Structure 1
Amino acid sequence: MNWLKLLTKQPSLKMIAERTGFAVTTISKALRDAPNISQKTKQYVRSIADELGYQPDRAGVSLRTGKTNKIVLLMPLEHEISDFSRRLILGMARILERTPYELVFHPILPDHTELDEIKKIVRNRSADGLVLAQTAPNDPRILYAQEHNFPVVTHGRTCIETAHAFYDFDNQMFAYLAGMRLAELGCKSIGLLAPEKDLTYYQHLLAGLHQVVEETSCEISSFRAQAQPGGDYVRWLREETLCAMQNGTMPQGVICSGEMAAMAVIDGVSSAGGKVGHDVKIISRKTSSLLEYLHPRIEWVEEDLIQAGEHLAQFLLQRIKGADPEELQFISPPALSW
């Protein structure tokens, strides 16, 4: 056998069969992770497939099975996202790496609606499943996917009665623990800074902070910064913080839903001549290493987005196979820096 000549051709199942001595049907089953093929055989077949640079013919697979072997992650492009998308993608890619599925990142441009994009994907069956983030209580995207029996998993919960698969961070516990910490540090007024007040997670944050008010002498500050729709939230929040510091309406403590908001507040406080940690105490959600390089340092509650991505990919693969969405729900506890 002239292996040099063979390797100049497009790698195929037949080529892997000739290298391994297994039948083409065995090769196909091994690459599809069939249960009746031993793990040792699967690993050997995959190693030869990787060595040859084999990639399945997605068009042929789609014609045979009606499946695209594509999973789409939709994400609006916004300032507050920061490193959010990259970490979710990394977690999902770790799970999908050894499956036939390809992860497609679908950014939603500011002048497009996410629901319209979802309708196109579902109508054309151009993917086998969807991953959505930034969920609303009565989210029309999820309702549409459910109506059309299309597999979907979300980063975040809703109030929809029909169960759907999700991975969520315990925002209520985050706000409660952060609020109690600020109360412990002597803060009497606490501001809650989150740009998307129409999303479910904000309701959970507010519920957690109300628990703090019930258990302490703290009050929720009226400084709940909200930029105009379509505006630059981070720039706007920095200016609002500067003004609040100058006119004496800045709360003693603030809970920031994201790192970019925390940076805006730090800059606003410092620009007004204030001292972070003294005049204003800040606790932020942490989803990357960004806060570890800020000065002055602030305290945080961490959400592991790579782990979130892994769960989302696992849940969606199971949904595609027909698993009950009620069995595919997980709420991640926050990790404290103090």
Structure 2
Amino acid sequence: MASSAKSKSSSWLAPLIISCALLACTANGHFLYVGYYDRSCPNAEDIVHFVMASKVATQPAMAPAVLRLFFHDCFINGCDASVLLDSTSHMESDKAAEPNESLAGFDVIDEIKSRLESACPGVVSCADVIALASRDAVSLLGGPAWNVPLGRKDARTANVSAADAYLPSPHANLTELLNKFATHGLDAQDMVALSGAHTVGTARCQNYRARMYGYDGEGNIIDPAFAEARRRTCHAVGGDDAVAPFDEESPLRFDNAYYRDLIARRGLLTSDQALYGCGGPFDNLVRTYSKDGERFARDFATAMVKMGNISPPSDMPVEVRLNCRRINY
């Protein structure tokens, strides 16, 4: 096991080892399992962790950026690194989809892949690079670590229409969110736990403006002072492109503050606040995570493994790309 996945203390803020309940699962007909590269590229996880640690040390915002790449990859035709492909004369990239316009972290993935190609050419897929890098992104910000089942292959094509169709909208209500996650085999608890990724990172004003001005169609479940502060952000710093942190308290610390913000009616996006405020099991789970960081850490790690098992279509051509931005030939 790579050092990046070792448990260092009993505190949830230190990496927490989560064993995959299904050590072998299929993705596009390929078996995923922990230790897939133990013989073919034994230093793979260490290489990923070294690059991620170096980048996050100088650019902490790269951690949530890489984590977001994993979500956006897996929700578009499965975890196949299609989100990394550049457009060509024959293919429009997933990057062209509106939900993907603000994605970042591609250069970090490129550097990891370059080092892996030097160490073990043509072995480690770009899809596995994203899965490992997102795990390290979380642990490097103080969150849990987990064993990552590996063996994914890379898509040879993109699907920009799927990006528009399957990625959850920042304006979605609870029913819409449940449907989006259920499409990928993720249940309500997975959805609430995975939404905790918004304990780090930022969003652009164009994605939270409707909530701050009360015309998102979801009522006025918002702290007035919080709404006013975010409206000032939109006015003062670049309009639609003005960014605000999901969690003002600890925007680059992977903790459970996101859920406390929801209870305080300070969720940044409509889709964030949708998880709390209507009573019932969702409110109960948000309250549980807000009080029990270790429970959140365990459930988040388990849900990340489950999301990482989302398979591409069985008939989709795949390969191990040598360059994550383009197919091999």
What is the TM-score when the length of structure 2 is the normalising length? 0.30
- Highest RCO, 1 vs 2 (Cα 8 Å, sep ≥ 6): 2
Q: Which has the larger radius of gyration?
A: 1
Between Structure 1 and Structure 2, the one with more strand by share is 1
What is the TM-score when the length of structure 1 is the normalising length? 0.30
